């Protein structure tokens, strides 16, 4: 495959000196700055759509429309996912994939710029993870670089792609399995953060496998003839309690959690169908699969005890992440050149008020010292997961964290949406787009960097690890998830979609004074 030998297939018609490359990088950053208005509009627009995983219909339509208008060829519905796409522009090597996530969080609706809970629509989804910002950042970066590539007649292919349903870790393993990254040379991923940085090597956090156990029994009148019933809900509850008893004997680095998706219809009917959904997380692939097998045995045992049957479906998966040293070091040099945004007094007031509202022991506001280049973790550190991990084991990959949110927030929470359509988010996206654009220029014009990135990937990262997808060849993405929730709230959210033709910002459209804080603050 092409990606297996990038050094043999690359080459530029024109050679650029180090001074010329630096001048082009400065130009790319300047173009991003000149297009800051588009970045702000994209961030605000996607925020207003508030779409859950697999339901990113308006988001994908809007973003692919911008890319198509700028000459990108869009492949829709990749891996059988209606809201997933690949947008390509350019020719030849290197092939660089630039990705970020799209989806939001259930029940996280929140007015931006308001430092206390104040939903746009009560109970609705909202961007309580900040995924409205990453793809706008990527588009701002690639449009700046594309202009330079066209003028300079530079070789290279840019691919913009979305992490659909990341909160469900529901797609990237399928993209990888289905060959979408087979001919890609390097992967640059972006994710919102509260500082500006990048890491390499073994990352903190976990991988996971997401599985739903569905039980089927026999219905009966719960009072008239309960002995004739076989309760699927009993099996669900036994599976839950069985796993709780298992926890005492699990590796302390594991994380596991579940929800009951179907507990029956009404109390006077013995439930004939019920289901429970688990995330099993751990820091290595073997440990994840060991947890999965233990969970399967517990579910099988629950079915035996209740006389029911059980089937299981893998809904998503994520390998633990490992990031590329060469890409990270190159990117961090550009991050240093860009630096953190200059925060206004209003920005800091919002940040400190929100930190106080959440009861944080310290209210230090937004960072003023740039994050460091993070080396590999010496010991495993547990925590969250991201299915960019699967792509990171397919080819050289990094995740750049850009400064568009506030430190000290709980995550997956309305508070994480407060900053995400404010000047804080806008400034962070522009800063991130500058660093990304500069890094793209580096890899487009320095083929030796791609060669070095693959050397690290093959001879360091992959020395003792073989990547095995957790999903089987016949498994399909769980595109049914979140349909009912989004169908319920989409009509309620639609009147609040951002109209950039009438309002300069989403804050202006909502009539929010920035920042809005409680009077005692």
CA-based end-to-end distance of the chain: 59
Euclidean distance between CA atoms 88 and 84, whole angstroms? 14
CB atoms within 10 A of CB 34: 10
Which among 470, 471, 463, 468 is positioned nearest to 202, based on CA atoms?
463
**Each residue's pLDDT tens digit, 231-283:** 999 999 999 999 999 999 999 999 999 999 999 999 999 999 999 999 999 99
**Each residue's pLDDT tens digit, 44-83:** 999 999 999 999 999 999 999 999 999 999 999 999 999 9
pLDDT value of residue 4? 45
Does 6 have pLDDT greater than 90? no
**Each residue's pLDDT tens digit, 154-176:** 999 999 999 999 999 999 999 99
pLDDT value of residue 367? 98
Cis status of the peptide bond prior to 492, with omega within 30 of 0: no
pLDDT value of residue 13? 61
Grouping H, G, I as helix, E, B as strand and the rest as coil, residue 196 is coil
**Each residue's pLDDT tens digit, 216-240:** 999 999 999 999 999 999 999 999 9
Task: Kindly state the average pLDDT of the residues 350-363.
Answer: 97
Which among 340, 37, 14, 12 is positioned nearest to 193, based on CA atoms?
340
Does 122 have pLDDT greater than 50? yes
Mean pLDDT of the chain: 96
Q: pLDDT > 90: what percent of the chain?
A: 96
- Beta 95-101 vs 156-163: how paired, if at all? parallel
Does 7 have pLDDT greater than 80? no
pLDDT value of residue 8? 38
Q: pLDDT > 70: what percent of the chain?
A: 97
Task: Give the residues across from 276 on adjacent strands.
Answer: 213, 260
Query: From the CA atom positions of the chain, what is the Rg in Å?
Result: 24
Instruction: Tell me the C-alpha to C-alpha distance, in Å, between residue 265 and each of 70, 222, 261, 310.
Output: 51, 12, 12, 19
Task: Kindly state the average pLDDT of the residues 294-311.
Answer: 98
Task: Give the residues across from 161 on adjacent strands.
Answer: 99
Does 463 have pLDDT greater than 90? yes
Does 114 have pLDDT greater than 80? yes
Does 10 have pLDDT greater than 70? no
Does 200 have pLDDT greater than 50? yes
Euclidean distance between CA atoms 213 and 24, whole angstroms? 54
Does 418 have pLDDT greater than 80? yes
> Is the Cβ–Cβ distance between 58 and 496 less than 8 Å?
no
pLDDT value of residue 12? 46
Does residue 397 or residue 6 have the better pLDDT? 397
Euclidean distance between CA atoms 157 and 144, whole angstroms? 14
Task: Kindly state the average pLDDT of the residues 198-208.
Answer: 97
Q: Which residue has tokens 């949110």?
A: 405
**Each residue's pLDDT tens digit, 500-509:** 999 999 999 9
Q: What confidence tier does 21 reach under pLDDT thresholds 50, 70, 90? A: very high
**Each residue's pLDDT tens digit, 101-112:** 999 999 999 999
Task: Kindly state the average pLDDT of the residues 457-486.
Answer: 96
């Amino acid at each position: 495959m092409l990606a297996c030998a990038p050094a043999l297939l690359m080459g530029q018609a024109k050679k650029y000196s180090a001074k010329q490359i630096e001048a082009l990088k400065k130009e790319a950053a300047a173009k991003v700055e000149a297009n800051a208005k588009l970045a702000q509009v994209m961030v605000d627009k996607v925020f207003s759509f508030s779409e859950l995983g697999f339901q990113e219909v308006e988001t994908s339509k809007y973003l692919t429309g911008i890319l198509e208008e700028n000459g990108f060829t869009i492949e829709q519905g990749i891996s059988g996912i209606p809201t997933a796409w690949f947008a390509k522009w350019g020719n030849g090597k290197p092939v660089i994939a630039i990705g970020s996530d799209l989806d939001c969080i259930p029940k996280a609706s929140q007015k931006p710029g308001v430092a206390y809970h104040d939903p746009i629509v009560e109970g609705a989804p909202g961007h309580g993870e900040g995924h409205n910002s990453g793809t706008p950042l990527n588009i701002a970066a690639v449009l700046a670089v594309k202009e330079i590539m066209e003028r300079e007649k530079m070789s290279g292919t840019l691919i913009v792609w979305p992490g659909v349903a990341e909160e469900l870790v529901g797609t990237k393993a399928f993209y990888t399995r289905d060959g979408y990254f087979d001919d890609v040379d390097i992967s640059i991923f972006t994710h919102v953060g509260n500082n500006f940085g990048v890491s390499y090597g073994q990352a903190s956090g976990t991988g996971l496998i997401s599985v739903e156990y569905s039980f089927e029994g026999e219905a009966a009148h719960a009072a008239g003839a309960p002995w004739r019933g076989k309760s699927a809900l009993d099996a669900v509850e036994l599976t839950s309690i069985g796993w709780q008893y298992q926890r005492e004997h699990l590796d302390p680095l594991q994380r596991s959690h579940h929800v009951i998706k179907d507990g029956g219809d009404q109390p006077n009917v013995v439930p004939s169908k019920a289901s429970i959904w688990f995330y099993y997380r751990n820091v290595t692939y073997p440990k994840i699969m060991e947890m999965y097998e233990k969970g399967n045995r517990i579910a099988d045992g629950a079915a035996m005890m209740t006389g029911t049957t059980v089937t299981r479906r893998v809904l998503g998966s994520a390998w633990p992440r490992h990031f590329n040293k060469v890409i990270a070091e190159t990117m961090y040099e550009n991050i240093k050149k860009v630096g953190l945004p200059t925060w206004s007094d209003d920005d800091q007031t919002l940040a400190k008020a929100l930190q106080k509202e959440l009861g944080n022991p310290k209210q230090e506001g937004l960072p003023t010292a740039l994050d460091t280049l993070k080396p590999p973790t010496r010991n495993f550190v547990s925590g969250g997961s991201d299915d960019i991990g699967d792509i990171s084991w397919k080819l050289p990959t990094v995740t750049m964290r850009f400064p568009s949110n506030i430190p000290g927030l709980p995550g997956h929470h309305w508070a994480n949406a407060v900053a995400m359509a404010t000047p804080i988010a806008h400034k962070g996206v522009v800063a991130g787009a500058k660093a990304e654009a500069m890094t793209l220029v580096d890899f487009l014009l320095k083929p030796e960097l791609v060669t070095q990135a693959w050397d690290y990937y093959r001879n360091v990262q992959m020395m003792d690890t073989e990547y095995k997808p957790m999903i089987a060849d016949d498994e399909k993405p769980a595109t049914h998830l979140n349909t009912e929730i989004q169908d319920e709230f989409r009509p309620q959210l639609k009147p609040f979609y951002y109209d950039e033709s009438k309002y300069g910002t989403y804050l202006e459209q909502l009539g929010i004074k920035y920042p809005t804080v409680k009077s005692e603050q």
